Amino acid sequence: MTAKVVRDYIGITVGVVIMALGLDMFLVPNKIAAGGVSGIATLLYYLFRVPVGMAMLLINVPLFLTAIKTLGFGFGVRSLYGTIALSVAVDLLAPYVPVPTHQPLLASIYGGIAVGIGLGLVFRYKATTGGTDLAAAIVNKYLVWASVGLILFGIDAMVIIAAGYVFNAELALYALLTVFLTARVIDVVQEGFGSAKAALIISDNAEEIGQAILEKLDRGATALHGTGFYTGTDKKVILSVVTRAEISGLKELVHQIDPRAFVILTDVHEVLGEGFKGSIA
């Protein structure tokens, strides 16, 4: 195992622990079911006293098995590790961590920030924590007209509505605030605020970088023709659009091929096309 792989797993572990702290210290004790598998697990905890981590694992196991059958094992061992580690960390830490506030507003804010930081770190080290990401990818396989983002929103909305029914409407509103904060903080950790990023890459190794984007990231890349005003030489400029979870991988890939490459990342707030929201038609 290389030092880089060890570093990545340490990063994933740190992210998972921060997420678990956010759930145990703020969200679960204050009945804030902020969407996703953790939100469902919070509801199950208060309805049937099933430990939150165990409930998350019980939900994620069939999702992973279905994903392997439907999508193949391309989503990676790291995601499996992240999923199991989060479930274990939530239950292991719960008896030992304090609950600093019982004010729902403070809990929703700090819980959302903590979960966002943790999940952002997990994304940065090229993993996920399973859950509704997998469910959305599976549904998207059969309902190609529905984007993954739309499916995720629908799942979160159903969980929050259920929280409003099980707890009360006010706690559901706090849960909605948590979902919003978590998404924004993930973007900050990933160094972006849009749902996707457009990358412009200027390099003498444009061909090699373009092929690597196609083969390793499974994203499209377009070569634009440019001329340097200072040098007067013609260069190829690569244009590629990636998701927020792929930003770190793209930067690392470019740096490995050409450390001197000039890279511009800009926010993309709406993307229509293969791999994103579908075609314009």
* pLDDT of the residue at 192: 45
* pLDDT of the residue at 280: 43
* pLDDT of the residue at 185: 87
Q: 105-142: per-residue pLDDT in tens?
A: 999 999 999 999 998 898 888 788 887 777 776 777 77
Please count the residues of the chain.
281
Task: Measure CA 156 to chain center.
Answer: 14
Reference 115, options 70, 62, 210, 179; nearest CA is: 179
48 pLDDT higher than 70? yes
Q: 154-184: per-residue pLDDT in tens?
A: 888 899 999 999 999 999 999 999 998 988 8
Reference 252, options 219, 225, 212, 211; nearest CA is: 212
Percent share of the chain, pLDDT over 90: 51
Between residues 99 and 153, the one the model is more confident about: 99
281 pLDDT higher than 70? no
List domains and CATH numbers for the chain.
3-191 (no CATH), 196-267 (3.30.70.120)
Q: What share of the chain is helix, strand, coil (3-state, %, to 5)?
A: 60, 10, 25
Q: 191-234: per-residue pLDDT in tens?
A: 544 567 889 999 989 999 999 999 888 888 999 998 888 778 88
What average pLDDT is seen over the chain? 86
